[in-house]
Amino acid sequence: MTVDDYVIETLMADLVGHDKMPSAFIVYLHLYTRGGRSVRASHQDIANETGLSKSAVQAAIRNLVRRKLVRTERESITAVPQHFVLRPWRRPRSSD
């Protein structure tokens, strides 16, 4: 899978430099490359796969949701969440 230039050139600087949250960039990049548009994974799964702590992943997900870069849904309070990777810099393609 290729990664949009925007993710590396702009989003990394924004999350790491501006937000001072490199874990958010790592989690976003992990979700982006792992599942494309959506990934069903627990915070612990993401922590194990990225080397981050579970609390760092939780904080990163909160930041990504707040920044509208990820949308997370759960079927119930105990269900494994479905994370939807959002790409707000992309414009929808017209159907001309």
Class of domain 5-85: mainly alpha
- Which range among 44-48, 70-74, 85-89, 91-95 shows the weakest confidence by mean pLDDT? 91-95
Confidence bin at 90 (pLDDT 50/70/90): low
> pLDDT tens for residues 18-69?
678 889 989 999 998 887 788 999 999 999 999 999 999 999 999 999 999 9
Q: How far is 94 from 58, CA to CA, in rounded Å?
A: 36
Domain range annotation of the chain: 5-85
Among positive and negative, which fits the CA dihedral 5, 16, 27, 72? negative
